């Protein structure tokens, strides 16, 4: 096919779309179902309506082929486990009795049955539920969800492409089931799984699928020759089937490296490739392997993970080059649009000039359609769109919002000494113990307490003018008093004020820092029904005034016990925001760190002896390729130390991380030079404690004993057993007792019971230790 005919055939598509609906209808329906206020049929109808609305909007925008199967009640990896019959033994009876209730039990657990482990989806802030597999796993195809949603889209008269997590990625992201040897390799089950995928593909073809997309994002990570060989076998086997739709293998988030020639040579009908950011290297790599002659290339030229408008002319240049490398080139986002909010035009509070710079899911689909039109019909057909795009890009470049000379001068003047704490941990720990006088296995929580309906209502009433600021602040003071009183009564050693004044751990700070923009409707799914509104970091950043000191001082006035000052660290402030892409991330991190350093100093001056700087995103932002990690970890750990290194030796610095695999960043955790770290560990059965010990981590640590992402209440015996596992790796003088994460999403009844059990467990273990006091 010539370049001209390829251009004429160009189409527009996307890998996936936000699930929640314009007003988070899915969240409300799912939570209503959990509480018994919405029937299963009602939830299913809401989901069906949302899917139809999404597909219609995509088609009306100019998307020629819509994705199906990407919609999920909770998580697409959990959907994949159901699709291939990989339901853990402990959940099979519940799934057999009630498919929907059993599905949510796998996600959330029940009082008697633990949920699946949850971790980050590559380097995003989305969380997936980890498949549990073993040598005895028996797979079985269940195409019900995929076939149903495909038929819904086809009934609307739309061209539709089912999207499945590919077999190699599914296995590479799985873990050994409980009781299975830790060295078991789920990828060893590939030959057992491939016939199941063959059956699924046949079912989808029979249901009317012309194309099916197999997502293989795990192939953008560093892969061994054995793993690449498995990818080759898998796609050769599936491509060689006769009873199948056409196959489009998709990968995204980074460059494919050695996996690209494997996929290019596979007997599949097309590839979907990311060409944004670091993945721009895929362009030259694709040319080096001879392209995809006679095959379809879905070119991900619009960034599916940020919210900045695309440089349309730059993308058209890339697309023009790609025309000579494939039989057909279609235009798409780099990945699913799940990772961005729905519609920038809903943000009426943002300056219209700045709004021109923003592109959420609906705007990105319009950009994709524009690029496809330009590719097919020439640039004259999109002249007006190109002119508007050039003007918006120029507006952003020249805006005073993006450049503050004072901020840049301060960041440039940072010295090496400012990024290192003195004296060393070994010297300052005695000063901290003398100051705090805590028992062995001190108990604490991570920061937030339940954000109740009353708190959310008070916040909404303040915004709407139904109450005045004085009334709102009295509500916050009351909540802080209640939270502290409960902790004292429960016997917790290091208290928190509960963060009732905070809407979100990033947004709260972003609203008080220059350079940030807040949204009203910019919701993005983090996991299940947990949605966040990442703020937008558009310009140079500084702190006009203290952000947390007033409430910290109030909390300290109510108790004799230490109360932690609570801050969100610089890397997490970036990772959980939509960050400017016009300067290196390390430069932006230094600006955030300097603002937080000022806050740390003010907290210490106000008498706060324990200050926690949370960095749950340190691991999730780790580059997917090992070659890129050293540079990232250098600026990331420096930013944390710049934030915290100015305090006195007797001020104890804590940090917190959760829901990621920590084994490959233990050295970076050490390099943070925090005095205490708390980490998620309950679902992984204290795995991280042994990883810290294996590294020789010398500081104090609190591997979590209470999984806060499940409504179940862990008994005191369960928490005690986890602590005993923790003590196998961490000596009692360095072991803390805490939940996995903050308690914002939990209700008060389960929070009270779980924390009381946590304290009981700590006291039980203390009583077993020599020379301890409870």
Active site residues: 709
**The three-state (H, E, C) secondary structure of 302-341, written as one string:** ECCCCCECCCHHHHHHHHHHHHHHEEEEEEEECCCHHHCC
From 708, 763, 758, 691, select the one nearest 732 (Cα to Cα).
Answer: 763
CA atoms within 13 A on the CB side of 400: 1
Show the tokens assigned to 711. 């409504």
From 670, 708, 673, select the one nearest 691 (Cα to Cα).
Answer: 670
From 558, 588, 370, 382, select the one nearest 481 (Cα to Cα).
Answer: 558
Cα 512 from Cα 133, distance rounded (Å): 46
Q: Which strands form 578-579's sheet, in the order they lie side by side?
A: 514-517, 536-542, 578-579
Show the tokens assigned to 323. 């025309």
Cα 527 from Cα 74, distance rounded (Å): 7
Give the position of tokens 């001082």.
Answer: 553
What are residue 273's DSSP bridge partners? 251, 299
Show the tokens assigned to 442. 């001190």
- 3-class SS of residue 694: helix
Show the tokens assigned to 277. 């950011």
From 54, 90, 264, 259, select the one nearest 178 (Cα to Cα).
Answer: 90
How many helices (H) and strands (E) would you count in the chain?
A: 29, 21
CA atoms within 13 A on the CB side of 759: 18
CB 590 within 8 A of CB 411: yes
Sign of the CA dihedral running 696, 697, 699, 701: negative
Sign of the CA dihedral running 272, 580, 309, 615: positive
Cα 751 from Cα 264, distance rounded (Å): 52
């Amino acid at each position: 096919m010539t370049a001209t005919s390829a251009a004429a055939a160009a189409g527009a598509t996307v890998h996936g779309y936000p699930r929640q609906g314009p007003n988070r209808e899915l969240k409300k329906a799912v939570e209503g179902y959990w509480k018994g206020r919405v029937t299963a049929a009602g939830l299913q109808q809401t989901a069906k309506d949302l899917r139809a609305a999404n597909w219609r909007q995509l088609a009306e925008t100019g998307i020629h082929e819509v994705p199906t199967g990407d919609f999920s009640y909770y998580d697409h990896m959990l959907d994949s486990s159901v699709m291939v019959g990989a339901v853990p033994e402990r959940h099979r009876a519940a799934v057999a009795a009630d498919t929907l209730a059993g599905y949510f039990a796998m996600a959330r657990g029940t009082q008697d049955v633990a949920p699946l482990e949850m971790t980050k989806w590559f380097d995003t802030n989305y969380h997936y539920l980890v498949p549990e597999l073993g040598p005895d796993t028996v797979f079985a195809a269940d195409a019900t969800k995929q076939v149903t949603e495909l038929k819904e889209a086809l009934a609307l008269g739309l061209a539709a492409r089912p999207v499945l997590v590919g077999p190699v990625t599914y296995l590479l992201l799985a873990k050994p089931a409980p009781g299975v040897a830790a060295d078991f390799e789920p990828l060893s089950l590939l030959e057992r799984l491939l016939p199941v995928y063959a059956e699924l593909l046949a079912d989808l073809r029979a249901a009317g699928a012309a194309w099916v997309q197999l997502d293989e994002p795990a192939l953008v990570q560093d892969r061994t020759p054995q793993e690449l060989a498995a990818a080759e076998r898998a796609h050769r086997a599936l491509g060689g089937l006769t009873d199948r739709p056409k196959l489009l293998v998709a990968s995204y988030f980074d460059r494919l490296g050695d996996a690209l020639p494997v996929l290019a040579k596979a007997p599949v009908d097309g590839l979907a490739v990311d060409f944004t950011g670091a993945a721009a290297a895929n362009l030259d790599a694709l040319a080096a392997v001879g392209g995809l002659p006679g095959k379809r290339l879905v070119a991900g030229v619009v960034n599916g993970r940020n919210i900045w408008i695309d440089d349309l002319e730059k993308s058209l240049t890339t697309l023009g080059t790609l025309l000579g490398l494939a039989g057909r080139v279609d235009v798409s986002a780099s990945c699913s649009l799940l990772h961005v909010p729905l519609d920038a035009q809903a943000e009426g509070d943002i300056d219209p000039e700045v709004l021109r710079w923003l592109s959420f899911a609906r705007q990105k689909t319009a950009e994709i359609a524009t690029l496809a039109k330009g590719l097919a019909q020439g640039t004259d057909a999109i002249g007006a769109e190109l002119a508007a795009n050039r003007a918006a890009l120029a507006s952003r470049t020249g805006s005073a919002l993006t450049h503050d000379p004072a901020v840049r001068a301060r960041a440039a003047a940072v010295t090496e000494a400012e990024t290192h704490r003195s004296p060393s941990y070994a010297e300052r720990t005695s000063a901290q113990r003398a100051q705090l006088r805590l028992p062995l296995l001190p108990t604490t929580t991570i920061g937030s307490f339940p954000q109740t309906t009353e708190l959310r209502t008070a916040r909404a009433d303040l915004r709407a003018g139904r109450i005045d600021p004085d009334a709102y602040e009295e509500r916050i003071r009351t909540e802080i008093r209640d939270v502290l009183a409960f902790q004292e009564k429960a016997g917790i050693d290091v208290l928190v004020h509960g963060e009732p004044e905070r809407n979100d751990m990033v947004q709260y700070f972003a609203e008080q820092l220059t350079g940030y923009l807040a949204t009203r409707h910019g919701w993005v799914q983090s996991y299940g029904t947990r949605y966040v509104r990442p703020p937008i970091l558009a310009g140079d950043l500084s702190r006009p005034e203290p952000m947390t000191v007033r409430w910290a001082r109030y909390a300290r006035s109510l108790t004799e016990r230490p109360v932690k000052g609570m801050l969100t660290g610089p890397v997490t402030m970036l990772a959980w925001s939509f960050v400017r892409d016009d300067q290196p991330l390390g430069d932006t991190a230094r600006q955030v760190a300097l603002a937080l350093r000022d806050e740390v100093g003010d907290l210490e001056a106000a008498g706060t002896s324990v200050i926690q700087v949370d960095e749950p995103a340190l691991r999730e932002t780790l580059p997917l390729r090992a070659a890129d990690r050293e540079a990232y970890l250098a600026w990331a750990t420096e930013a944390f130390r710049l934030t915290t290194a100015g305090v006195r030796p007797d001020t104890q610095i804590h940090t917190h991380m959760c829901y990621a695999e920590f084994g490959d960043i233990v050295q970076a955790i050490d390099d943070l030079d925090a005095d205490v770290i708390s980490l998620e560990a309950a679902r992984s059965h204290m795995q991280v404690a042994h990883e810290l010990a294996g590294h020789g981590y010398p500081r104090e640590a609190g591997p979590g004993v209470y999984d806060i992402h499940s409504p179940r209440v862990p008994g005191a015996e369960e928490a005690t057993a986890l602590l005993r596992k923790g003590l196998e790796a961490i000596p009692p003088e360095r072991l803390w007792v805490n939940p996995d994460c903050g308690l914002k999403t939990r209700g008060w009844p389960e929070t009270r019971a779980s924390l009381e059990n946590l304290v009981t467990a700590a006291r039980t273990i203390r009583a077993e230790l020599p020379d301890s006091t409870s």
